[in-house]
Structure 1
Amino acid sequence: MEIALTYDPRWRYTPQGRTSSWASLDTVEYVSVLLEELGMTVLPLKADDAFETRLADIKHKYARPVVFWLNEFMPTASGRDMFTVRVIEKLGMMHTGPGTEALATGLDKEATKEVFRGLGLPTPESYVVPLGDFSPIDEPASWEGCAIVKPLLQGNSRGMDGSSVVLAGDAKAIREKVQRVHDEFAEPALVEKYIGGEDAREFTVPMLISHDGGIAELPITEIDLSQIPLAQGRFRFLTHDIKDEKYYLKIPARLSPGTTTRLAAGT
């Protein structure tokens, strides 16, 4: 089988002495080796200006190539990034990972939370503050305690640092954090109930879903909050400056069978 392995042209090798980042050429080489060991023919493909043309050539040259996209985004001539999978879908090629619609929903925190609510899954209370409209902040929060302010559409904890948690009733502090998000990212901000605490635990439950709906569960990962530096002397959460370090991960998480079942079921 031929695998077109796409990557971002802006990626570089990780400097010596630093923890390898996913967004690097180290990842491209690592995944290539794993696929080749499985007997696949790997076709590394840089997602640059010639990406669509080269991908179309691969489609016509091979019978049933599959595109394994490592990079969610690719640069464009306009200066704005676009989803790599959008080009793949345009050419009608088989690919790993979600499609454009699912990816867009997953990167929009409030849209994702709406999906959770529709499925009856618990999710922290929240509200969105659009660009240029601070009126949602003036409405009393529906929860007590603290709030955490995040960019609505960013991933990898971008826009979050140790000062991102404020009192839910402190409109002035929330407005300052929201303004920073608006200025830095030119997008809405999400104000969400902070649910951390002394006994809090955080998990990631990964899975593979095939085109026919089959599901393969992968090892549950725990984000060991005790390994994360305290923010403001009392909060522990992932900020952008430590998100890629990975020293705080426990894979697999050490859980009882009952807890594993509940996490996998989302209950």
Structure 2
Amino acid sequence: MAGRSSRTAPKVVVLMGGPSAEREVSLSSGAECAKALRQAGYDVTEIDAGKDLPARLTDAAPDVIFNALHGRCGEDGRVQGMLDWLGIPYTHSGVLASAMAMDKTLSKQLFRDAGLPVVESIIVPTETARREHPMPPPYVVKPNAEGSSVGIYIVRDGANGPAQIGGQMPEQVMVETYIPGRELTTLVLGDKALGVTEIVTDGWYDYDAKYKTGGSRHVVPAEIPDDITAACKDYALRAHRLLGCTGISRTDFRWDESRGLSGLYLLEINTQPGMTPTSLAPEQAMILADMDFPAFCAWLVEDALCRV
């Protein structure tokens, strides 16, 4: 995409920031994407999404939106609905796919009904999860609609008490069976699953492991059996298509290798994967699709424009 004439380059607004718990991640993603798109030859404006967003977009009059928002409002269908109303094309998934992917309970039920292997889970009041074990340990407590491992608690086998849940949690939480083993993830680009990354950490793949330099190590492609690689790619592409995702999505897995293929579980799908220097999606695109970061961001912009 480098070498575009500035006279013909589409005007791109990069949406970033916003009000969610993932604001700082979004600001980092947005800054990196804006820089990359300028390198690719686009006319780029950065907007920190606030309540005045419709007016600011009207003033900016972009040809296309690069959605670098994360979390509530940015990836749950709300900003997508506003952009549809304004008639501005945008990257990543649309309203329905974004909303379904963000709701872990709903998407998990859809995956289960389609025969994809998912972890057993329940929704309980947060106070219940603070007071007692909602299921026998080990289990994981998480918000039903957040990303970036925000607000995740693990209750280990033999724990004396329930999760020590902090105050910044919704009224209800998801409690799901903890699956031991390896952390795997697969990027779908367009209509192709690229491959599998293994995420290696000293503990749980939490917020710091995802976003702090040195927080985790990525093995690309993952050193796993061929049947597990094939299954991850198949499940990720089926999940992407089932929800009607567009652009890119990233699907996360846990694999208990002692159980072979039956130990592979689909955890969740992310329609707005992180786009920071340590993020998984750009890394897979570079290593497995030979797309550097500017080319990857440009692909997303052109994909959005082609869907107008």
Which residue number in structure 1 is paired with residue 258 of structure 2? Answer: none
| Partner SS state of residue 39, structure 1 | coil
Output the CA distance in 2 between the equivalents of 1:124 and 1:73. 22
Instruction: Supply the distance in 1 between the matched residues of 2:231 and 2:72 (Cα, whole angstroms).
Output: 37
Residue from 168, 175, 197 that aligns with 1:184: 168
Which amino acid in 2 is paired with 1:117? R
The sequence identity of aligned pairs, in percent, is 25
CA spacing shift, 1:257–1:107, aligned 2, 3 Å: same
Shift of 1:252: 3.5
- Quote the residue 1:68 is aligned against: 66
Q: How does 1:133-148 map to 2 (within 5 A)?
A: 146-148=138-140
Give, as a single letter, the amino acid of the residue that structure 2 aligns with 1:114.
Q
Between the two proteins, the alignment pairs up a number of residues equal to 218
**Secondary structure at the counterpart of residue 173 of structure 1:** coil
User: Cα deviation per residue 1:133-181 (whole Å; 9 max; x = unaligned)?
Assistant: 77xx798x5xx762222222222112224xx22449x8x834xx3x836
Query: Contact 1:146–1:167 at 8 Å: present in 2 too?
Result: yes
Aligned twin of 1:4: 13
Moved over 4 A (4+): 131-134, 255-258
Partner of 1:18: none
Instruction: Report deviation, 1:32.
Output: 2.2
Cα RMSD for the two superposed structures: 3.3
Unaligned runs of 5+ in 1: 12-20, 76-80, 210-214, 230-236
TM-score by length of 1: 0.67
How far apart in 2 are the matches of 1:189 and 1:74?
Answer: 15
* CA separation of 1:263 and 1:102: change in aligned 2, threshold 3 A: same
In structure 2, the partner of 1:228 is: 202
Tell which has more relative contact order, 1 or 2 (C-alpha 8 A, sep 6+). Answer: 2
Q: Is the 8 A contact 1:166 1:173 kept in 2?
A: no
The one-letter amino acid paired with 1:205 is T
State the one-letter code of the partner of 2:196. I
Contact 1:69 1:97 in 2 (8 A): yes
Q: TM-score, length-normalised on structure 2?
A: 0.59
Report what 2:149 is aligned to: 157
Q: Is the 8 A contact 1:72 1:83 kept in 2?
A: no
CA contact (8 A) 2:196 2:221 kept: yes
Assess if the C-alpha contact under 8 Å between 2:195 and 2:229 holds in 1.
no
**Structure 1 or 2: larger helix share?**
2
**Distance in 1 separating the partners of 2:77 and 2:51:** 12
Kindly tell me: are residues 160 and 10 of structure 1, through their superposed partners in 2, closer, same or farther at Cα, counting changes over 3 Å?
A: closer
Provide the secondary structure at the position in 2 that maps to 1:148.
strand
Unaligned runs of 5+ in 2: 1-9, 236-260, 262-308
